[in-house]
Amino acid sequence: MFRDWRPDAESTVVEKLAAAGAILLGKLHMTEFALRWHHPYRPIPTNPWGADRWPGVSSSGSGVATAAGLCYGAIGTDTGGSIRFPAAANGVVGLKPTYGRVSRAGVFPLAASLDHVGPLTRSVADAAAMLSAIAGYDPRDPTSSRLPVPDYVRALDQGITGVRLGVDERYLTVGVQPEVSQAVLAAVEVFKAQGAEIVAVTVPEHDATERAWYTITAAEALVAHAGLYPERAADYGPFRALLEDGSRYSAQAYAQAHQVREELSATLQGLFDHVDVVLCPTMPSTAPLMDAQGNARMAEGLVRTRYTFPWNFSRHPTLSLPCGFDREGLPVSLQLVARHFAEEVLCRVGAAYEQATAWHTVRPPLLTD
């Protein structure tokens, strides 16, 4: 659809990276309009840990390129997990900032009220440096925050003595691949040894989360594609199904989905009355096998979006980073969540973990076939 289209302006993120001195190499592959499906006319990025393994939905090219050492970092977008999934599947760091921390100007929306923009890198320090460059208010994006941008890099060496780390052991183990649970619980011990205070919490879950997320995404995508759909419906790949669903949803369904969102968000926000950071897996498994269309083949009982959708609803910042490997040599990913606009706390805690471990330094067996 956009084969011959050329933008008449840069995105704010690209402008800020260039102004900070970054060398911009080019654009990377992603799924069609940043949802879960790859367009049939485009090749699927190859996960460098295994050609048959899922590379992680929309920002998959960014995760693969970073893991393969083709760049020090890349930009991803996250509406329901698309910074964190490629980070987890490819064994790199993914930072989803607070909604509004990074401008969305020049980013084609998937669902405007859920979209986040952030970096994928090979270390927390690199993620902190990239976030420092791209964060801040932008008059081109009225949803961007006017709060001042901290020095994220300076926070890296402050240690984590006294940081309150919230752990819900049931949330980490039930419906989770055992090797993932073991690696995440081992990370808790690393944090404890570094002076963090471990606080037991109960992370709320809502049975209607996935349905509500899809309803909001479909309805808001329909707005973003005005003038393209249904006028050019034949030019779409599998993404067309989302727009078709969006066109059928009623205002009542959209309002009910937002009610679910607000209820869950308020409960999640309450966690940070007692802790500074909540710890959980990024995904309930390591990178699953995928089918010919690039879709993940999740094992029965594993809900891939369980640890991602809620934090898009609530707009909290999250940091995903490697914390081990399973028996097949696939990376396991840990997710840290902080209160709104507390990215410096995430960087501080993530850097402390990297200083005590070496998981982030392990490189994939680059595929040569």
300: pLDDT confidence band, cut at 50, 70 and 90? low
Strands 197-200 and 318-325: unpaired
Q: Report whether pLDDT(294) > 60.
A: yes
Q: Write out pLDDT tens, residues 324-351.
A: 999 999 999 999 999 999 999 999 999 9
Give me the chain's average pLDDT, please: 95
Helix (H) or strand (E) holding 95: strand 93-96
Q: Write out pLDDT tens, residues 45-102.
A: 999 999 999 999 899 999 999 999 999 999 999 999 999 999 999 999 999 999 999 9
Q: Which fold has domain 12-361?
A: Amidase signature (AS) enzymes (3.90.1300)
Tokens of 295: 């879709």
Task: Give me the DSSP letters along 302-335.
Answer: --GGGGTHHHHHHT--EEEEEEEE-TTSPEEEEE
Strands 164-167 and 197-200: parallel
Q: Structure pTM? A: 0.96
CA distances for 175 relative to 182, 187, 234, angstroms: 13, 19, 39
Q: Write out pLDDT tens, residues 122-142.
A: 999 999 999 999 999 999 999
Instruction: Convert 75-105 to b/e letters by CB count within 10 Å (16 or more is b).
Output: bbbbbbbbbbbbbbbbbbbbbbbbbbbbbbb
